[in-house]
Amino acid sequence: MRIVIAEDNVVLAQGLVLLLREDGHEVVAVTTDAPSFVEAVLEHRPEMTIIDVRLPPTFRHEGIRAAQQIRALIPGQPILVFSQYVEHTYARDLLQAGGSIGYLLKDRVARVDDFLHALHHIAAGGTVMDPEVLDQLITRHDPITTLTPREREVLDLMAQGYANAEIARLLTVTDRAIHKHITNIFTKLDLPPEDSGHRRVLAVLAYLSR
């Protein structure tokens, strides 16, 4: 994949570049501020973008706003938002925009396999939320509180982009058990059968719109 990165921490940026190149990707641009990121994405039209939430000059929400700007200019552009913090409002708004979106906390990059799995899932049109982001957002909305601990665990893995068979393997249960848990999740979140094909994403996002 061709990738554009926006990260003002030079050490982290270079670490991402090395990691991505080792995985066979091409980093076409590394920027340190939001305007340069937008310009680079419009110029290179990459298959994936990675951007920090907090960028110069104020180190508040420049990155997430740039991500929203890019999605307005290039609908469906895959974006992985990287942050040290859970920005609840901006995370909700960005995730509600649709697929090809991810929100991971920076310490996630230390788990290389999970990070690369998330990257490929986002590029393929999926939505990925860091479990801590998901947990913090869940506690702010009521519908998810009706789920059992196991259903919450399954939803966490769904949000990370894992398929049913992968979830079954990770939780050491049968595929049938996972199917039952997911069916219960859909039912409790009032997601009708005709939404098949999108219900996995809707299950993650349903509480955000309640």
Token pair, residue 31, equals 């920027």
Question: Average pLDDT for residues 178-188, to the nearest whole number?
Answer: 88
Whether 182 is covered by a domain: the verdict is yes
**What digits encode the pLDDT tens for the residues 7-59?**
999 998 999 999 999 999 999 999 999 999 999 999 999 999 999 988 988 88
Q: Look-up: residue for tokens 């670490």?
A: 15
Phi, psi of 36 (to 5 degrees): -65, -35
Whether 135 is covered by a domain: the verdict is no
Pair 43, 109 in one domain: yes
Token pair, residue 50, equals 């990675």
Pair 207, 103 in one domain: no
Say what the pLDDT of residue 112 is. Answer: 84
Q: What is the DSSP letter of 53?
A: S
How many other CB atoms sit within 10 Å of the CB of residue 123?
19
Pair 96, 151 in one domain: no
Residues in the chain: 210
Nearest CA to 70 among 88, 104, 92, 44? 44
158 band by pLDDT with thresholds 50, 70 and 90:
confident
Residue type, 97: A
Phi, psi of 105 (to 5 degrees): -85, 150
Pair 7, 92 in one domain: yes
Residue 125's domain is classified under what CATH number? 3.40.50.2300
Whether 134 is covered by a domain: the verdict is no
Rounded to 10 degrees, the C-alpha dihedral 31/33/77/107 comes to 80
Pair 125, 145 in one domain: no
**What digits encode the pLDDT tens for the residues 77-94?**
999 998 887 766 666 666
Say what the pLDDT of residue 207 is. Answer: 46
Q: Please name the helix (run of DSSP H) or strand (run of DSSP E) that holds residue 90, with its range, or none.
A: helix 88-95
Token pair, residue 130, equals 């860091």
The CA distance from 161 to 199, in Å, is: 13
* Domain housing 74: 1-129
Pair 117, 14 in one domain: yes
6 band by pLDDT with thresholds 50, 70 and 90:
very high
Number of domains in the chain: 2
